A = this chain, B = another copy of it.
Amino acid sequence: MSKTTTPKKPSKSKATQTPTVDLSLADVYGQVRVVIERVSPELDGGRFPIKAIPGDTIQVEADIFADGHDYVSARLLYRAPHEKHWHESPMHKLENDRWAGAFSVEQVGRYQYTLEAWVDHIGSWQHELDLKVRDGQRVTSELLAGATLAEGMAHRAGGSPTGDTAGNAHDQAELFRIAELFRNPDAYDQAVQVALGDAFHQLAEQYPERQHPARYSRELGVEVDRAKAGFSTWYCLFPRSASMTEGKHGTFRDVERLLPRIAGMGFDVLYLPPIHPIGTAHRKGKNNSVTCLPGEPGVPYGIGSPEGGHDAIHPELGTVEDFKHLIAIARNYDMEVAMDLAIQCSPDHPWATEHPEWFKKRPDGSIQYAENPPKKYQDIYPVWFETEDWRNLWIEMKRVLLLWASWGVRIVRVDNPHTKPFAFWEWVIAEVKKEFPDMIFLSEAFTRPKVMQQLAKRGFAHSYTYYTWRNSKTELMEYMTELTATNGQPDAMRYYFRPNFWPTTHDINPYILQSGHEPQFLIRYFLAATLSSNYGIYGPSFELMEHVPNAGKEEFLNSEKYEIKHWDWDRTNKLTYLITLTNRIRRENPALQQTNNLTFCRIDDDHIMAYLKTAGDNRLLTIVNMDAYNRRAGMVQVPIWQLGIDGNTTYVVHDLLTGARYNWKGEWNYVELDPYMLPMHLFRIEL
């Protein structure tokens, strides 16, 4: 179903020369007087697009100015995917030659924007005329000059010859009349009045004299993903542990039986670790043991067996048809199924024999197994992206992804993308989105900041984060600021990096939760769900507050990665209650469906964190006691100035978790939270 394009060896692209003065540079064209610089947002000089979802408003700023004292006009130009012509939206001056404008995106795909600006001769003329009139000077000569400007406007009001812009006969007539007036010595006073009037000024805005406009030298991109990229709630489970009967290998059918419960809790993405055949060579046993006892199921990340590789389904889970059926049933519950892309092979993977050149060889000619010295992973063959045959490897990966898409999969979680080339991700994600623009990729890279950022720039819609290890109020406030604030940076993370918060994963059992202390689980869950519009949980394990570590490591003892677990799927507890409630509140309150709309509020306690999120008139104030062991109280400062509430008006804060309503007044108000009761408030501010 996919036309495969062969990646060809590129002609080495010429580096941009620092321009010596070259008259072919548009902005050195002698009559172009306006400069457009320091555009924001702009990632690496326009090399990468920023991100958005339909309905978003893109705010753009730039330094715009000309020589001399003339007025300047500027427009923001933008176009939707596949549009040829630019739409325009006006820009307004802030201060110190900084200008701002905005446009909104509606469709999924790649938008583009750039800027245009020119010297506003009409505005300058009007301004100087005003000064002279105030000075009592006779402006007959200036009015004659104005007549010529007015005629120019009239001709533009007639519409462009190309017909791109329709004419406006009424305005045209009006403008010719005004030109007449400016020329009529007997109507001097009236002419001056009209010349300085708003009506004429508005006509000037409408039919500007766009002489020698400056065009910004770059066209910048906005990658618009579907709404789910902005707001999603993930639930991870291993299908093989989905059986109701202990000891029995779970199947897709078993998973289907769990859907009502998971959907009922408010999740809309069901993420499954790899569901492919599992190798037997060097298969790992319980707790990652190198000796595997007969009958042990192996690690789903040891992908590939004689039964197939990344394009096959583990037979014990069911058939491709069964998997498609699961996807279809999930859809009835408004849930999507996300697959897991782990580009690595068990020694039994078909690629190991069909494409040995895709793997690194040891001097003895054998394939090099995975190592993280001194550790060895004989059960895993890493794919070697430096192979001379990289193009066919890329094409095969694209084929696999398009095959998954053909099964109905539109969300892919990628395992350790940071150990594969950035260029590969940029290429394969773009190629897949050409045919499935609604595809969403989540980057599971827990590594250095710039590497994680680069993966997001190259096309991942979602990224795992350091949330799992940001525990204190200070840490979290710093981290959220890094993720959501611009700090005047044109390449701030908020423009391209969409966080997806996870309190735990099947790989990570963080120290802060190893106590198993219930309030701690409530807090870590709730922070993830209210700070980030995209979050997920390692479902059954987290719900049941699984916490016993494997030998002091941040891993689970008896990890589900190495064995089949039997979960009590009917169990409910305080945490599952909070999850269900919070997810319903997230669906009902748009303010929780964004991440960058965050403002922290002052509160005089180092362990109570308070933050405001607003979307239109939906205003949520969240207050969390991050001390899981002690009741804490403090005065929180509500930014009423931002909410348009005056200091003397009483307003209601409605706790959506408990239903309680409090009447508050002014900025500073008292809160008290007992972790053993409920360590958080989720107030809706109702005016």
A315, B249: Cα distance in complex, Å: 106
Given known A-B contacts A35-B422, A390-B31, A418-B68, A131 and B450 have beta carbons under 8 A apart: no
B31, B114, B391: the one within 8 Å of A386 (CB): B31
In chain A, residues 430-487, which have Cβ atoms closer than 8 Å to a Cβ of chain B? Answer: 430-431, 448-451, 454
> Can you list 15 A-B contacts with CB-CB less than 8 angstroms, sorted by A residue number?
A10-B29, A15-B215, A16-B218, A20-B110, A21-B431, A27-B423, A28-B427, A30-B385, A30-B390, A30-B423, A33-B423, A45-B45, A63-B450, A67-B418, A132-B374
Which chain B residue shows the least CB distance to A26? B13
A452, B632: Cα distance in complex, Å: 55
User: Nearest chain B CB to A256's CB is how many angstroms away?
Assistant: 37
Decide if A135 touches B373 in the complex (CB within 8 Å): yes
| This chain's copy number in the assembly | 2
Q: Does A9 reach chain B (CB closer than 8 Å)?
A: yes
A115-148 near B? 1/0 per residue, CB < 8 Å = 0000000000000100110110100010011001
Q: Which residues of B lie under 8 Å from residue A21 when comparing CB positions?
A: 426-427, 429-431
In chain A, residues 21-47, which have Cβ atoms closer than 8 Å to a Cβ of chain B? Answer: 21, 23-33, 35, 37-38, 44-47
Which chain B residue shows the least CB distance to A216? B15
A63, B430: Cα distance in complex, Å: 24
B24, B96, B134, B216: the one within 8 Å of A450 (CB): B96
Decide if A451 touches B16 in the complex (CB within 8 Å): no
User: Nearest chain B CB to A668's CB is how many angstroms away?
Assistant: 33
Given known A-B contacts A97-B451, A423-B30, A49 and B18 have beta carbons under 8 A apart: yes
Given known A-B contacts A131-B374, A451-B65, A423 and B13 have beta carbons under 8 A apart: no
Q: Does A363 reach chain B (CB closer than 8 Å)?
A: yes
Which chain B residue shows the least CB distance to A136? B374
Given known A-B contacts A16-B218, A374-B134, A427-B23, A10 and B31 have beta carbons under 8 A apart: no
Q: Does A230 reach chain B (CB closer than 8 Å)?
A: no
Q: Does A647 reach chain B (CB closer than 8 Å)?
A: no
Which chain B residue shows the least CB distance to A451? B65
Which chain B residue shows the least CB distance to A45? B45
Decide if B15 touches A97 in the complex (CB within 8 Å): no
Decide if A421 touches B30 in the complex (CB within 8 Å): yes
User: Nearest chain B CB to A463's CB is how many angstroms away?
Assistant: 15
User: Nearest chain B CB to A214's CB is how many angstroms away?
Assistant: 10
Q: Which residues of B lie under 8 Å from residue A114 when comparing CB positions?
A: 15
A183, B553: Cα distance in complex, Å: 39
A12, B215: Cα distance in complex, Å: 10
User: Nearest chain B CB to A38's CB is how many angstroms away?
Assistant: 7
Q: Does A85 reach chain B (CB closer than 8 Å)?
A: no
Q: Does A571 reach chain B (CB closer than 8 Å)?
A: no
Per CB-CB distance, the 7 closest pairs between chain A and chain B, nearest first, are A135-B374, A18-B221, A144-B363, A131-B373, A21-B430, A45-B45, A10-B24
Q: Does A407 reach chain B (CB closer than 8 Å)?
A: no
User: Nearest chain B CB to A497's CB is how many angstroms away?
Assistant: 14
Can you name 6 extra interface pairs (CB under 8 A) apart from A30-B391, A141-B363, A145-B362? A12-B29, A13-B25, A18-B49, A45-B45, A65-B454, A67-B422
User: Nearest chain B CB to A495's CB is how many angstroms away?
Assistant: 13
A431, B23: Cα distance in complex, Å: 11
User: Nearest chain B CB to A485's CB is how many angstroms away?
Assistant: 16
User: Nearest chain B CB to A73's CB is how many angstroms away?
Assistant: 16
Decide if A419 touches B69 in the complex (CB within 8 Å): yes
A664, B411: Cα distance in complex, Å: 70
Decide if B44 touches A23 in the complex (CB within 8 Å): no
Which chain B residue shows the least CB distance to A127? B373
In chain A, residues 220-271, which have Cβ atoms closer than 8 Å to a Cβ of chain B? Answer: 220-221
User: Nearest chain B CB to A95's CB is how many angstroms away?
Assistant: 10
Q: Which residues of B lie under 8 Å from residue A451 when comparing CB positions?
A: 65, 67, 97
A220, B17: Cα distance in complex, Å: 7
Q: Which residues of B lie under 8 Å from residue A450 when comparing CB positions?
A: 37, 63, 65, 96-97
A364, B423: Cα distance in complex, Å: 65
